[in-house]
Amino acid sequence: MDVPAKGNILGRVIPARYILAILGSVGMAIVYGLKVNLSVAMVGMLNHTAIKLAAHDEPHETASQPSELECQPTSNSTSSNDADGPFLWSSEVQGIVLSCYFWGYFVSQIPGGRVAELFSAKWVMFFSVTINVICTILTPVMAEAHYIAAVIMRVGEGIGGGVTFPAMHVLLSKWAPPAERSVMASLVYAGTSLGTVISMLMAGVLTATLGWESVFYVMGGLSCLWCVLWIFLIKDSPGEQPLISQEERDLITTSLGGKSGDHSHKNMTVPWRKVFTSGPFLAIVVAHACSNWGWYMLLIELPFYMKQVLKFNMTENAVTTALPFLSLWFFSMALSKTLDWMRGRNYITTTTARKIGTLFASAVPASCLLAVCYIGCNRGAAVALMAIGVTCIGGMFCGFLSNHIDIAPNFAGTLVAITNTVATIPGIVVPIFVGVLTHGNQTISAWRIIFFVTIALYIVEIIVYSIFGSGEEQPWNNLKDNENDGNPEERPFKMDERTHV
């Protein structure tokens, strides 16, 4: 039942739907920030000297390569700048600690998507951030106890993080008018890159100045404020939100083709067979999985490449790793706005817009990684190429990541949960894969293999999504319509009743 619309809390300055988008973006930033802070903090947590000596004491076929090019430390890199930490975790243990986040991430997404669709996406998102905050604050104590305890905390964070995309997809399907869908989705999901930037910079500075423990205490504590704002300012749908103008509520519900109090689509059964035989949906699965390999390789492993190969110190590492994610945020917003403008004037279709965004997110980083393979120790060129590649990955937010809502808005939460579950596999594999290849062999040649595998997967993504991707709503989204033709009052909204752009 609709509640009375009492007017937006910020008047006409920021519409209620954009308050949702902004807080959703901040929530995504928190979850991603708390996910990647360990990648930077771990550089300060490890006793690199002892680990390197232990690795060279073991027999390795590739441990000694006289012809291998080795970069010299930068002029600012001295042993006093980057003091060794307390932990003697091998490359394999490091891989497990970094990848175990995705164990929890993997199992929570599909249940989280269905709970968000059937009950409350607002509270699913709240749970996600809250469990991340709690586990982050406990991480230093657990890490000191044993790395297995740190693994448990990371799994807990992953369980919370796994439900973010499904929950936000469900909220966007109820709050985002079709004409603003790309912009709102990009605003929300680009928070992942903004959180990455802030987290990496803060983690680098805090580790270098206050010690690695401060990374988890400070960032976890600051995130608590979001939880309070989310509880009081966000509702599951415009009809439940009192802090909204009647005009905005009517705008949203009319553009989505339904009545503000219509929640009948919650009871729709997912047509599983049709979903898993749908070409456009399977194209999203492939694109999401291949793209995530590159995303997680850069997100999680880039600090180690900067440290091990290019020999940047802690502060340089944090800055050179983080800044590209800031440009990613600006690029994703500009590209989504441009594509929506072109769609609004019928210059391109939704399908073309999604393919353009996805092409930017795959072809450009693949080309940059290929160039990085052959520039050796040219730090300036490496940083510039990585910055361009990471920036253009932002195209995925208005590409395949917005595509679930296009093809089946009634099941958007479940669909993104499925594709994100499959796309979590690279998050599990990448840290272990990199750890094995670089164990006792932290060289350019080892990283070249890693980059070649990433490039190959980007090529698969380009081919599959270009051929099979679609921005059109699929017939099975309104499968219940065919069953209820005799009772119009029970029919969920149809695409042809919506406002098209």
Measured distance CA(242)–CA(4) in Å, rounded: 6
User: Is pLDDT of 57 > 50?
Assistant: yes
Q: How many residues does the chain have?
A: 501
For residue 474, CA distances in Å to 270, 422, 469 come to 13, 21, 12
The 8-class DSSP code of residue 14 comes to S
Please report which confidence band the pLDDT of residue 427 belongs to, taking 50, 70 and 90 as the band edges: confident
The answer to whether 162 and 428 are in contact (CB under 8 A) is no
- What is the Cα–Cα distance from 225 to 206, expressed in whole angstroms? 20
Residue 348 has what DSSP assignment?
S
For residue 118, give the DSSP letter. I
Given pLDDT bands bounded at 50, 70 and 90, which one contains residue 335? very high
**What's the predicted TM-score (pTM) here?**
0.72
Q: What is the pLDDT of residue 489?
A: 36
Q: Which range among 165-174, 314-323, 391-400, 459-468 shows the weakest confidence by mean pLDDT?
A: 314-323
pLDDT band at 485 (very low <50, low <70, confident <90, very high): very low
Q: Which residues sit opposite 276 in a β-bridge? A: none
- Please report the pLDDT score of residue 377 as a whole number: 81
Residue 484 has pLDDT above 70, yes or no: no
The predicted pLDDT at position 105 comes to 87
Partners of 87 in beta bridges = 46
Residue 160's nearest CA partner among 221, 112, 215, 217 is: 112
- Of 147-151, 197-201, 454-458, 472-476, where does mean pLDDT reach its minimum? 197-201
Tell me the pLDDT band of 231, cut-offs 50, 70 and 90: very high
pLDDT digits (tens, 9 = 90+) for 101-146: 988 988 898 898 889 888 999 999 999 999 999 999 999 999 999 9
User: Would the pLDDT of 283 be above 60?
Assistant: yes
Q: Please report the pLDDT score of residue 217 as a whole number.
A: 95
Max distance between CA atoms of the chain, in angstroms, equals 78
Looking at the DSSP bridge assignments, the partners of residue 46 are 87
- Higher-confidence residue: 462 or 307? 462
What is the per-residue pLDDT for 371? Answer: 92
| AA letter at 304 | F
User: What's residue 11's pLDDT?
Assistant: 67
DSSP assignment, residue 187? H
Identical fold at 12-52+83-256 and 278-474?
yes
pLDDT at 139: 94
Asked if the model's pLDDT at residue 21 lies above 80, the reply is yes
- 229 contacts 122 by C-beta, under 8 angstroms: no
The two three-digit tokens of residue 157, written as one number: 């964070």
What is the pLDDT, as a whole number, of residue 59?
Answer: 54
Q: Using CA atoms, how far apart are residues 337 and 186, in angstroms rounded to an integer?
A: 9
Q: Decide if domain 12-52+83-256 falls under CATH 1.20.1250.20.
A: yes
Q: Let me know: does 199 contact 150? Beta carbons within 8 Å.
A: no
Q: CA 239, CA 265: separation in Å to the nearest integer?
A: 15
Per-residue pLDDT averaged across 464-487, rounded?
Answer: 76
Secondary structure (3-state) at 437: helix
SS (HEC) of 168-180: HHHHHHHHCCHHH
Query: What is the pLDDT at residue 444?
Result: 81
Q: What is the dihedral of CA 77, 81, 85, 90, to 10 degrees?
A: 0
- DSSP-assigned beta bridge partners for residue 390: none
Looking at residues 316-345, what average pLDDT do you find?
Answer: 84
Residue 7's pLDDT band, with cuts at 50, 70 and 90, is: confident
| Rama region for 237: left / alpha / beta (φ>0; ψ in -120 to 50; rest) | beta
Q: Determine the pLDDT at residue 475.
A: 92
Within 46-163, residue ranges assigned H as helices are: 48-57, 91-99, 101-115, 121-145, 147-161
Among 42-56, 206-220, 254-268, 398-412, the least confident range: 254-268
Average per-residue pLDDT in the chain?
83
Q: Is residue 154 within 8 Å of 101, Cβ to Cβ?
A: yes
- Round to the nearest angstrom and report the end-to-end CA distance of the chain: 29
The residue extents of the domains of the chain are 12-52+83-256, 278-474
Q: Which CATH number fits domain 278-474: 3.30.70.260, 2.60.40.3080, 1.20.1250.20, 1.10.760.10?
A: 1.20.1250.20
What confidence score (pLDDT) does residue 200 get?
82
Helix (H, G, I), strand (E, B) or coil at 97: helix
Residue 165 has pLDDT above 80, yes or no: yes
* 68 pLDDT more than 70: no
Q: Answer for the pair 310, 474: CB distance below 8 angstroms, yes or no.
A: no
- Residues of the chain with pLDDT > 70, as a percent, come to 85
Rg (CA), the chain: 23
The amino acid sitting at 66 is P
pLDDT at residue 459 is higher than 90: yes
Q: What is the pLDDT of residue 289?
A: 95
Which run of H or E residues covers position 310? none
Q: Please answer whether residues 159 and 108 qualify as being in contact, where contact means their C-beta atoms are separated by less than 8 angstroms.
A: yes
pLDDT interval class at 33 (50, 70, 90): very high
Residue 405 · residue 342 · CB < 8 Å:
no
Mean pLDDT of 186-212: 86
- Asked if 65 and 443 count as a contact pair (C-beta separation under 8 A), the reply is yes
Instruction: Break the chain down into helix, strand, coil percent, rounded to 5.
Output: 75, 0, 25
Average pLDDT of the segment spanning 145-159: 94
Compute the average pLDDT of residues 297-308: 76
Among candidate residues 453, 459, 460, 461, the one with its CA nearest the CA of residue 436: 453
Q: What pLDDT score does 379 carry?
A: 82
Q: Which of 229, 233, 207 is nearest to 129 (CA)?
A: 229
Query: Residue 87, SS3?
Result: strand
Per-residue DSSP letter, 68? S
